[in-house]
Structure 1
Amino acid sequence: MRKIDKEKRILIVMIKIYCRKKHRSQDLCEECRALLNYALNRLDHCRYGANKGFCNHCPSPCYNQANQAKIRKVMGFSGPRLIFYHPVMVIRHLLS
């Protein structure tokens, strides 16, 4: 599996956790769906491709400032909780 595909899977899970807990929505709400679509599109067009590192360490971020703040908020909330939902995914992500 490509690194970008792994990043996408993690991002999808994190946004779902965030939306379920913060917006009390079983499916993604419009705001979270729009953020997910934006983020997936940016990952598809990442200039670093297979050599991509973590987005928060990127020298040239893909996200605009508003969406970058939203993604940080989602990751800050969902990141610590992810270990309870998908522990193997978290360990693999941290080891990469």
Structure 2
Amino acid sequence: MSRIEKEKKTIGLMINIYCKKKHNRRNELCKECNELLEYAHKRLDLCKFGNEKGFCSKCPIHCYKKDMKIKIKEVMKFSGPRLIIYSPIQFIKHIFE
């Protein structure tokens, strides 16, 4: 699996956790979270670093629009620590990448 695909899987899981807990959604994402996921996937697809990319927070190029950057940071802040509960294997993989 490519680095981009791994990132997509991780951000998808984080957005799912966030939407489930913050928006009380069970089986599908709310409209706002679905738009954020699609946006994140699009940004990952267009990443100029491709499989050589590091964490977005350490990237010299900030490709997220300001409002989406605020939303994704909120999701990561909330869901990051919860990954260990919902997907411990994904959490460990994410930490060591």
- With the shorter chain as reference, the TM-score category is over 0.9
Measured in 2, the distance between the counterparts of 1:59 and 1:85 equals 31
Q: Give the gaps of 5 or more residues in structure 1.
A: none
Q: Give the gaps of 5 or more residues in structure 2.
A: none
State, as a whole percentage, how many aligned pairs show the same letter.
51
Measured in 1, the distance between the counterparts of 2:93 and 2:80 equals 14
Equivalent residues, number: 96
Measured in 2, the distance between the counterparts of 1:61 and 1:68 equals 9
The residue aligned with 1:5 is: 5
Measured in 1, the distance between the counterparts of 2:81 and 2:40 equals 20
Measured in 2, the distance between the counterparts of 1:93 and 1:33 equals 22
Question: Where do 4+ consecutive residues of structure 1 move more than 2 Å?
Answer: none
Q: TM-score, normalised by structure 1?
A: 0.97
CA displacement 1:39-68 (0-9 Å, x = unmatched):
100000001101100011111011111100
- What pairs up with 1:1-96 in 2 under 5 angstroms? 1-26=1-26, 27-96=28-97
Q: How big is the shift at 1:94?
A: 1.2
Kindly provide the amino acid, as one letter, of the partner of residue 61 in structure 2. S
Q: TM-score, normalised by structure 2?
A: 0.96
Query: Could you say what the CA RMSD is over the residues aligned between the two structures, in angstroms?
Result: 0.6
